[in-house]
Amino acid sequence: MHSVCCAVKNRFDNAEWIVAAILVFKLVVAIFCSRVVVNYLNVPDADFYMNQGYVGDSSGRTVFVQNIASNIFGIFGRDATFATFSVISALPLCIYILRGGDPLAILALFFPSAAIWTGFVGKEALFYAAYSAVLVSWALILNQGPNRWNVVIGVLGVVFGLFFRPHYMGPALLLISSSVVLIRFPRSVRLPCIGLMWAVMVLAITLSWGQLLERGFFGVSELGNTSRFVERGLEPQTDRGLADFADAVGLGALWGFTGFSLSEIGGSIIRKIVFFEGVVILLSPLVCFLMRRRLPSASLPHLYYALLPALLFTIIIHAPFGVMNAGTAVRWRTNFELLFYLAPLFLFLRTRRS
């Protein structure tokens, strides 16, 4: 019996076996989304992408995803298309494991909303992969230093992330850049350099704030199942409605994570899961901060000067997308939520290896 247990443990400790388990999990999720979840969740995007429903769309991002999805769908069918996007979303984490990362990082795969949305055909799966690549690069740089391959992983993530969701990628770029400065730059210039990057981020948010508000308001349909236009008394698709929306955008700092307010949960099991998942995601950095004494001293500057500012800027950027529709808030939250639980987890996994 002891020898059997040892054999199982050895296999689990083997990076290739862990990666195989990740890929199997993502395949199962993809099939589940393709055959079951679509019957309960209104996601027409997936079929539009596979059947070239966005022909003539002016967005290069949309056309790019459509070309990938429609070609795979035409050759291999629906399930294979869902599976391709689902597997792509997990590839950076697989790379992290293969490059000596701690297997406990796979816990990030089991957050329900991200697991479901990355199991669909759409931009979320591809951006999730890009964002994961940046965080994986950050973790590997902390553990192994900014060597060539660790930097390449991050650069690829930033490039594709800026293509799909540039507003969410900004704080992630700030995270990894700040840590590189902390590792490689002389102590005397670290804080001035990081402060300059903070100033650039503040300027970028200030200049794009009007566009973020417009996307958060005009980009949400008043006909959605979880729309709040009637509840908030806002006139859809009007400048007056936009002005009233801007006054309430602070609510998005909370609703952008929980999706629903306490009064909206009701008796719905799904809404309760989404709400409490959002609370856990939002509070994860706070738990990390409260437990910071368990981190090695070398990790503390990365917590204070890299991770916490990136989190704050992300909350601000996402706020406009958390007010008018709970479903939209949760779907878009999956784009960046790894920053709130996987990045802190990486810091503590670094502790396990130190």
d(CA 144, CA 68): 34
The residues, any chain, with a CB within 8 Å of residue 207's CB and separated by 6 or more, are none
Mean pLDDT by 10 residues, the chain (354 residues): 48 80 96 92 87 84 94 96 97 94 92 94 95 96 89 95 94 96 94 97 97 94 86 90 93 94 87 95 94 89 97 97 92 95 91 54
How far CA 113 is from CA of 38, 118, 134, 309, in Å, comes to 14, 8, 20, 25
In three-state form (DSSP H/G/I as H, E/B as E, the rest C), the secondary structure along 29-79 is: HHHHHHHCHHHCCCCCHHHHHHCCCCCCCCCHHHHHHHHHHHHHHHHHCHH
- Please state, as a whole number, how many other Cβ atoms lie within 10 Å of the Cβ of residue 120: 26
The residues, any chain, with a CB within 8 Å of residue 266's CB and separated by 6 or more, are none
pLDDT in the model for residue 4: 45
- Please state, as a whole number, how many other Cβ atoms lie within 10 Å of the Cβ of residue 144: 13
Instruction: Name which of 65, 82, 73 is nearest 26 in CA terms.
Output: 82
pLDDT in the model for residue 3: 53
pLDDT in the model for residue 58: 75
pLDDT in the model for residue 1: 45
